Amino acid sequence: MTPNRPLLEVKNLKKHFPIRGGLLGRTTAKVYAVDGVSFDIAKGETLSLVGESGCGKSTVGKALLRLYPVTDGEVYLDGQRIDNMAASKLRPMRQRMQVVFQDPFSSLNPRMRIVDILGEPLSNFGMAKNRADLRERVGLLMDKVRLPRDAIDRFPHEFSGGQRQRIGIARALAPGADLIICDEAVSALDVSVKAQIINLLVDLQDELGLALLFISHDLATVEHLTHRVAVMYLGKIVELTDRRTLFAKPHHPYTKALLSAVPVPDPTAPRNRVILTGDVPSPINPPSGCRFHTRCPLVHDRCRVEEPALRTVGEGHSSACHLTHAPGELAMAGSA
Ligand SMILES: Nc1ncnc2c1ncn2[C@@H]1O[C@H](COP(=O)(O)OP(=O)(O)OP(=O)(O)O)[C@@H](O)[C@H]1O
Ligand SMILES: [Mg+2]
């Protein structure tokens, strides 16, 4: 691996879903689920992708995993372009990039014992010499996610939700992945179990140098584990920065609104709350100009017609809002 090269690079990724209608099943409209998203993730780094339901987070994850073809853009894993790679060549990529979904139960075969659930990826990637070796390797995976080894012959229904999510994580680790996409991986868990799984992910990251793309609709969940945060709104990233800056000095009005909804330890402390009104507009027909303009408390005329680019507003901090312009620039833009 070349030093300083990101493990994952995503450039202008788009995923549009055709909507077919009429007798001939022609494409009558498109869902602009992901509409030009760029970010990168370093080895051993956690980037969180947050935003309201339907903004395109899971679609980003699934497009990266090549669960469906991408509409446009480029994706590089360790410098190798993977978005247009022939299906026959995807195997090594799949070994390095794995996913953990929200509901481990539905993705774990109820008729398979843990030894076989975790043994499957090991066999698929030719990582076990024989049955005894496979059992030993499964045992090591169980140690990693802190599941008791004597549970190796149990079935998924014999585990609690948190334990099942540990199995999901072990399955993602099995092929030796260095990037794990966690799509709402802790969202369905109770608070205390959620904290345990988050701690496990942080420990595994330290131990194995894992990179994580952590997808969550909830900013509060990502605060304790992420290095950087990308905020999505209707298929676009509207703000991207490190965790500390995002929580202390958010720039985009949408990020400020999301943060206003995060519970704080002292609810009586003074805060500048930004309450979001109205529903998220449809990604089939996104608003003109800035997609957030229909709900933005700071909207002005320019926002309705001109789409703001994602611009640098500080070191390692970018935001897509016309208010990011330097005052002189705004004045110039206004007089044009
Ligand atoms: N296979 C598909 N066909 C058509 N539209 C789709 C498909 N998958 C997702 N969409 C649409 O794309 C948009 C983004 O969906 P996506 O699941 O990525 O959102 P999300 O941010 O993950 O939401 P949530 O927080 O609810 O999981 C939504 O409008 C969704 O209805
Ligand atoms: Mg989702």
Note the pLDDT tens digit of each residue in 219-237: 999 998 999 999 999 999 9
Measure Cα distances from 222 to 181, 197, 207, 248, 258 in Å: 14, 12, 20, 14, 13
Q: Which residues of the chain have pLDDT under 50?
A: 326-336
Residue listed under structure tokens 């026959």: 88
**Average pLDDT over the chain, rounded to whole?**
91
pLDDT of residue 261: 81
Q: Which of 276, 254, 77, 50 is nearest to 179 (CA)?
A: 77
- Nearest residue (CA) to ligand 1, atom 2: 17
pLDDT of residue 103: 78
- What tokens does 254 get? 């949408």
pLDDT of residue 332: 39
Say what angle helices 161-173 and 191-208 make with each other, to 10 degrees.
20
Note the pLDDT tens digit of each residue in 37-94: 999 999 999 999 999 999 999 999 999 999 999 999 999 999 999 999 998 899 989 9
Measure Cα distances from 299 to 31, 275, 292, 308, 321 in Å: 25, 14, 9, 12, 10
The number of the ligand 1 atom at minimal distance from the alpha carbon of 184 is 27
pLDDT of residue 3: 62
- Which residues surround ligand 1 with Cβ inside 6 Å? 17, 31, 33, 51, 53-59, 217, 283
For the CA atoms of 90, 96, 101, 105, the dihedral, rounded to the nearest 10 degrees, stands at 90
The one-letter amino acid at 310: L
**Pair 240, 318: CB distance under 8 Å:** yes
Measure Cα distances from 26 to 20, 21, 29, 72, 282 in Å: 5, 6, 9, 21, 21
- Which residues neighbour ligand 2 (ion) by CB within 5 Å? 58
Residues 3 and 271: their CA atoms lie apart, in Å, by 42
For residue 168, is it left (φ>0), alpha (ψ between -120 and 50) or beta?
Answer: alpha
**Pair 93, 85: CB distance under 8 Å:** yes
CA–centroid distance, residue 137 to ligand 1 (Å) = 36
pLDDT of residue 274: 74
pLDDT of residue 329: 46
Residues 165 and 106: their CA atoms lie apart, in Å, by 11
CA–centroid distance, residue 93 to ligand 1 (Å) = 24
- Nearest residue (CA) to ligand 1, atom 10: 33
Q: What percent of the chain has pLDDT over 70?
A: 92
pTM (two decimals): 0.92
